[in-house]
Amino acid sequence: MDLKLKNLLIVICVALAGMIVLFYFLSGSLSSSKIVEGSLSLKELATKTDCLLPTDGALGDFAKCLGQKGAVFYGAFWCPHCQDQKKLFGDFAKDLPYVECSDASGKEQLKLCADQNIKVYPTWKFK
């Protein structure tokens, strides 16, 4: 085989491999986010984000830290497990990095959550 042709084939193969990796990365298959479907304990949330779990019950700073570390909590207002997850934070649930996925009727999922491929409530995403 001619050396120029061989080099051209190598360049084409490397370019194709790069495009495949880029496609998977953009589709989320190789993204750095980690997804956990279901409720998590405060200790599990602390471990996954490196946020310090308060010993004095000051959960407001902990809830804010989750968002600062890139955690996102996807849920629906009608989901009892989501409500239980929020109850762990008491009055500080308002500080959670929460995304409501349900429309007002409770029958449709909002586009934002569909685009994130959220299938189960609650779902946590971590960077």
Same domain, 19 and 62: no
Quickly list DSSP for 70-104: T-EEEE-TT-HHHHHHHHTTGGGGGGS-EEE-B-T
- Can you give the pLDDT of all 127 residues of the chain as single tens digits? 677 777 666 655 555 555 544 444 444 444 457 999 999 999 999 999 999 998 887 899 999 999 999 999 999 999 999 999 999 999 999 999 999 999 999 999 999 999 999 999 999 999 8
Same domain, 51 and 81: yes
Same domain, 94 and 47: yes
Where residue 117 sits, what CATH number does that domain have?
A: 3.40.30.10
Q: How many helices (H) and strands (E) does the chain have?
A: 5, 4
Same domain, 61 and 112: yes
Could you tell me the residue range of the domain that residue 36 belongs to? Answer: 32-126
Peptide bond between residue 122 and the one before it cis (omega within 30 degrees of 0): yes
Same domain, 91 and 59: yes
Does pTM top 0.75 for this prediction?
A: no
Residues 67 and 107: beta-carbon distance below 8 Å: no
Same domain, 37 and 52: yes
Q: State how many domains the chain has.
A: 2
